[in-house]
Structure 1
Amino acid sequence: MGDVVTTESHPGFDLDLSAPRLVQLEGQEEPMIMTELEKIQAKARGIRFFDVTDTPELGTRAHLRVANKPSYPAPNNTQTVKSVIESLKIQNLQDILAKFTSFRTRHYRSQTGKESQRWLLRKITELTEEYAPEALQESISIREFDHSWQQSSIIVGINGTSADDDGVVILGAHLDSTNDSPFLPAPGADDDGSGTTSILEAYRALIEAGFRPERTVEFHWYSAEEGGLLGSQAVVKSYESRGVNVIAMSQYDMTAWVKRGTKEEVGIVTDYTDPDLTEFNKKLVEQYLSVPWVETKCGHACSDHASWNKAGYPSVFTIESAYENVNVQYVHTQNDTYDISDEFSFEHILEFSKLAVGFAIELGGWKKSS
C-alpha cells in the first residue's frame, strides 16, 4: 500500500484535503472530526466509517421502521424468473466494463468521475430506448440525484402497477472508484464495476421482457461510496424525508472474484443486514443461481446497504465470496482491472445478475397481461 498523496493541486479534482468532516466509526454514537486527508488515510488502513457531515440525523427514526417490517414469502415465480435469466448475456457485461474501466478514475470528486457517471447515465438511457417496449418506457424514469460534489448518483425506476401497494424494491451498486492514493488511477473493475454491470444487465433483461412490476422497482447507482457512503446516505435521507415505503434493498458490491484454489460461491453478509430479508436472499440463491451461498461478515459501513440499514430499512448485501476470499490484492489500486488475473470471472458476475432478476421479480411482482 503506497503513501497517500497529500498535494491539493491536481487538475480535474475538487478535493480539499484539509476540509473538516464528521465521521462515525463503529461503536461510536457521537461522530468525530477528521480532515479529508485523515479520512483517506483511515480508509487506506482498512477502517470503515460513515461520513455523516451532511446526514447527521440519519438513523434517529430507524426504530419506527423496524417495528413495522414487512414479511417475505418464499420464491414463487420460478418460470418467469428463469425465462428472464435465460436472456442474460456475458458479452454485455464485458462490453460495459471495458468502457466503464477506461476512465482514469471514477473518484467522486474528479472530472473523470463525473464523466464516467454521465457515460453510465447515457448508456442506461440508450439501453432503455433499445430494449424496453414503447408502452413500458412510459413507466420508466431515469434521473440524476445531484450532490454537493461533482459526481451524481443515478436512480432508475419502473413504476408499479398496483394502486394499493406503495412499496418500493431497490437494487443498488456504487459507480465511483478510488485508489488508496486518491489522485492515482483507479479503474475499479471489481470495486464496483462488477456490481454496477451485474444490476445493469439484470435491468436490461427485465425491460427486454417487458417487466411491469406490481410494486415500483428501482435501480440505484450510488456516488461516493468510497468517501464514507456519502451518496447512499443522501439518497436514504431524501427517501426518509418523503416517507418512501422501501420494503427491501439489495446491494451488489464486488461480484467478480473467484479466488484461486477456492470453490465458486457467493457470500451472504449477515451483519448490518436484515435477518428476514437475508433468509429470503439465501432462498433466491438456492432457486436461481448455479453456485451455493456461504454466510460471511463484512463489518461496519461496509457498503451502501448499511446506509439503508442505519435508517431502519430492510437491506441485504451479497458479495463475491466469503469475506476472507474477496479481492483484497487489487481493489483500490491501479491494477483493479478485469484482465489482471483469471480469478476475475464474468461468469461469476452473471450469477449476481441472476440474483438481481430474482430479487426484482419475486419482491416487485409482475402484472402479466391476460
Structure 2
Amino acid sequence: MKFLILLPFLGITQASPFGYQQTQVPLGSKDGFSLDLEAQRLIQLGDSHSPVWVSEREKIDLKANGVKFFDITDAVELGSSAYARLIGETKASFPSPNATDKVKPVLKTLSTKGPKKNLKEFTSFTTRYYRSKTGQKSQQWLLSQIREVTESSASRSLQPHINVNEFKHSWGQNTIIARIEGCVDPDDIVIISAHQDSTNMWPFLPAPGADDDGSGTVTILEAYRALLEANFRPKNSVEFHWYSAEEGGLLGSQAVASEYEKQHKKVIAMSQFDMTAWVKRGTREEVGIITDYTDEGLTEFNKKLVELYLDIPYVETKCGYACSDHASWRKAGYPSVFTIESSFENSNHYIHSANDRIDISDEFNFDHMLEFSKLAVAFAIELGDWSEK
C-alpha cells in the first residue's frame, strides 16, 4: 500500500500499469547520460510483495521518496535455486573472535592519510551515477587505485595470490573484485564490500557521494592496503568488492551474487560498509549494527568484533528492506551483515544531494571512518583463518 500512496506524486499524463498516470520527462544527454525514462523495469518492494513493472522515471521518483527496492529485471532467479534454498535453510554459526595476536598489529598500521587523499579525488567526479560517463570514469579511476595499492603494498611472494578484476555490467560502470586466494580452503569465501556509485535525487544533478558511499569505498580500500602490507595470506579466500549501481536497486551486487549462486560458490560470510563517516553533532560516536534483513549469527559475531577491536561502542539499528548490497547476498541464501556510521536516524541527512561532501560539516569525520577500517580488517583476519570443519 505504501507504494500505491506514493505513485500519485509522479505526475499525470500517460497510463501506467497501476491505474495511475505517469509523466515522461526527457533526460537528454547532459554529462553523457544514457537513460531511457520510458524503459520498463521489474522491481520488488518486500519479501511478501509480488514484483511490479515500473518505468525508469517511476524508479527515480521512488528513490527520491526514500522507498527501498530491488530492481530484479536482470536477476529474477536470484535466490530461487535449490542451492540457495539449501544454504539459506542452514543456520550459520560463527566462532568467538580469537585472532587478536594477528589482528591488533595490523590495526596499528591503519591511517586516515590514504582515505583523505582518495576520497578527495573520488568526490571530484560530477556524479558517480552508474549510467553516466563520469560514473564510468570514476570506476576506472578506482580500479587504477586498487591495482596501484596491490602492486605497492603486496610482497613479491603474495602478489601471485591476488587477482583484481572487473565484473562487467551492461550499463558500463563495472563492479571491482580484489581476491586474496586462500592457502587451505580457497573455495570458502569471505566478502568485504562497499558500493562505488552515487546519485542525487535526480540522477542528472551533481552527486559527489562523499559519505554515500565514498566513505565505505575508501574505508575498505584502507583495510585492503593494511592487510597486504601485513603479508596477509588467509586460509580461506578473502574478497573485496566495490559494487556498481547500488543506487539503481542493488543491480551490481545482485549480478555478482547471482553468478556466485549459479556456480555454487561457498560464501561463508559477507559484510557491507555503506556510509562510515558521519557523527551527528551532539550524539555519541558509535557503530550502527543493522539487525533487520541480516544473518543473526553473523550479526552477533560482528558485535563481538566491535567490542574487542574498536574504540567506540555499537548500537543496534534497522534500515528496512533492500537498503544496501548485503540484501542481495541474503536473498541468495548467504550469511550477510551490514554496518553503518550510526543509528539509522542519526545518519547523514545530506546523502543523495550535491551537499554530500567532505567539507560540508565538521560532522564528517575521518577518524570515525577509521574505526570501520578496523572492523573490516578484523572481519577479514578472524574469518579468513576460520574453519567450519
With the length of structure 2 as denominator, give the TM-score of the two structures.
Answer: 0.91
Q: How far 1:53 sits from its partner (Å)?
A: 0.2
Tell me the equivalent position of 2:107.
Answer: 85
Q: How far 1:10 sits from its partner (Å)?
A: 1.9
Tell me the equivalent position of 1:73.
Answer: 95
Count of residues in correspondence between the two structures? 363
Tell me the equivalent position of 2:27.
Answer: 8
- 1:140-182 C-alpha deviation (Å, 9 max, x unpaired): 00000001101000001000000x5621000010000000011
Tell me the equivalent position of 2:163.
Answer: 141
Tell me the equivalent position of 2:307.
Answer: 286
SS state at 1:154 partner: strand
How far apart are the structure 2 equivalents of 1:17 and 1:366? 47
How far apart are the structure 2 equivalents of 1:181 and 1:277? 35
How far apart are the structure 2 equivalents of 1:81 and 1:112? 37
How far apart are the structure 2 equivalents of 1:137 and 1:56? 37
Tell me the equivalent position of 2:332.
Answer: 311
Q: How far 1:360 sits from its partner (Å)?
A: 0.1
- 1:223-262 C-alpha deviation (Å, 9 max, x unpaired): 0000000000000000000111000000000000000010
Do the aligned partners of 2:236 and 2:384 also contact (CA within 8 Å) in 1?
yes
SS state at 2:158 partner: helix
- 1:296-352 C-alpha deviation (Å, 9 max, x unpaired): 000000000000011110000000001110012x10001100110000000011000
Cα 1:123–1:85 change in 2 (3 A) is same
Percent identical pairs in the alignment equals: 63
Cα 1:73–1:40 change in 2 (3 A) is same
How far apart are the structure 1 equivalents of 2:176 and 2:342? 27
The structure 2 residue matched to 1:117, chosen from 129, 135, 139, is 139
Tell me the equivalent position of 1:254.
Answer: 275
Do the aligned partners of 1:156 and 1:220 also contact (CA within 8 Å) in 2?
yes
Do the aligned partners of 1:211 and 1:366 also contact (CA within 8 Å) in 2?
no
Q: How far 1:365 sits from its partner (Å)?
A: 1.4
Do the aligned partners of 1:109 and 1:151 also contact (CA within 8 Å) in 2?
yes
Does residue 195 in structure 1 map to residue 229 in structure 2? no
SS state at 1:160 partner: coil
Does residue 240 in structure 1 map to residue 269 in structure 2? no
Do the aligned partners of 1:13 and 1:109 also contact (CA within 8 Å) in 2?
yes
Tell me the equivalent position of 1:300.
Answer: 321
Do the aligned partners of 1:258 and 1:343 also contact (CA within 8 Å) in 2?
yes
**Larger C-alpha radius of gyration, 1 or 2?**
2
- 1:164-221 C-alpha deviation (Å, 9 max, x unpaired): 5621000010000000011010000000000001100000000001000000000000
How far apart are the structure 1 equivalents of 2:314 and 2:383? 20
With the length of structure 1 as denominator, give the TM-score of the two structures.
Answer: 0.96
Which residues in structure 2 correspond to 1:14-53 (within 5 Å)? 14-53=34-73
SS state at 1:309 partner: helix
SS state at 2:157 partner: helix
Q: One-letter code of the match for 1:108?
A: Y
How far apart are the structure 2 equivalents of 1:9 and 1:358? 46
Do the aligned partners of 1:169 and 1:218 also contact (CA within 8 Å) in 2?
yes
SS state at 1:261 partner: coil
Q: How far 1:63 sits from its partner (Å)?
A: 2.5
**Aligned CA-pair RMSD:** 1.5
